[in-house]
Amino acid sequence: MGEEIAISLDNVSKCFKRYAHPVDRLKELLLPGKTRSDEFWALRGINLEIPKGKTVGIVGRNGSGKSTLLQIIAGTLTPTTGTVQVKGRVSALLELGSGFNPEFTGRQNVFFNGRLLGLSQREIEEKFDEIAGFADIGDFIDQPVKTYSSGMFVRLAFAVAVNVNPDILIVDEALAVGDVVFQHRCMRRMRTLMDSGVTTLFVSHDSGAIKTLCNSAVMIHDGKIYTSGLPNTVIIEYMKLLTELELELDIGQPEVEAAKSSNPNNSHHLICNGVDVKESSSNIKLARRGNGKAVIEEVSLLNQFEEYV
């Protein structure tokens, strides 16, 4: 018997129409037959299955389609083509402020979000103290959220998201605005949810967090799945792509070309503890990154007595 699938996407694509002027949208509606917009495909042909209880990291450059993908899974966007199947209650922490009424107090927003997620008034009341304690924003819980800093906002939003008994938790880069102590608290809570069988989608530019928290990873590039697999493998491919794109931008810049031509290590030799790595171990593959503006010429590993190890 195979694994139960919590999230399934079959050939999902998302197209947005872009208009040069706002009035063009009205003209296109009232005068059919003439297109006044151009199309932007944020996602194309996404096929993805996520088993129940797994934690999947999603990486990619800004604008690659990660957030659009998560919004479709969360149900806040509908795909242009394809089908999406999601089993269970979804709690999503997407862009900062989504799902919150800025005129409401923090307390009112907790109840508002809880009801949207399907909890009863009594269930929210029972969980309120736990939510407020996790957010740890003090008396601001009774102030309008429009007065909150970005850090306070994400504290409350995350506290709600993880305390409504979700079957599926979606976190989209929101933790980047929190302080380090709160980030660690969030990571511990996410780990607890994962251990209890909650399916988790986690978007982050922190490769360490992806490798530590996730069972697998998916890389999105130009609206398509570029690669998927074990987190470490996907992160390596992601870093390779970033390096290639960086080098493409640097090609032809005088200072870069000068650095490359004056680089004494262009022969791919690396000295470690006074030994030429290439000559001593021909099986070692050197992974080079960067544009040549700075070069590491020699590496030494020493013990506490400053002896080679």
pTM attached to this predicted model:
0.75
The angle that helices 180-195 and 150-162 make with each other, rounded to 10 degrees, is 10
CA distance 65 to 224: 8
CA distance 111 to 103: 14
Q: Which of 26-35, 44-53, 271-280 is the most confident on average?
A: 44-53
> 249 Cβ partners below 8 Å, 6+ apart?
none
pLDDT at 234 over 90: yes
Confidence of residue 297 (pLDDT cuts 50, 70, 90): confident
In angstroms, the first-to-last Cα distance of the chain is 51
Segment 180-193, tens digit of pLDDT: 788 888 888 888 98
C-beta separation of 55 from 204 below 8 A: no
Segment 98-147, tens digit of pLDDT: 678 889 999 999 999 888 878 889 999 999 999 999 888 899 999 999 99
User: Distances from the Cα of 234 to the Cαs of 74, 83, 196, in angstroms?
Assistant: 24, 25, 26
**Amino acid 252: pLDDT:** 56
Mean pLDDT of the chain: 83
> 33 Cβ partners below 8 Å, 6+ apart?
none
C-beta separation of 50 from 195 below 8 A: no
CA distance 292 to 294: 5
Residue range 165-190: mean pLDDT, rounded: 81
**Amino acid 152: pLDDT:** 87
pLDDT at 198 over 90: yes
Residue range 197-205: mean pLDDT, rounded: 90
Confidence of residue 268 (pLDDT cuts 50, 70, 90): low
* Six token digits for residue 177: 């605005």
**Amino acid 273: pLDDT:** 57
Lowest model confidence (mean pLDDT) among 95-104, 140-149, 205-214, 259-268: 259-268
CA distance 174 to 196: 22
C-beta separation of 165 from 114 below 8 A: no
> To the nearest 10°, the Cα dihedral for 193, 198, 204, 208?
60
pLDDT at 235 over 90: yes
Q: CB count, 10 Å around CB of 17?
A: 13
CA distance 288 to 231: 21
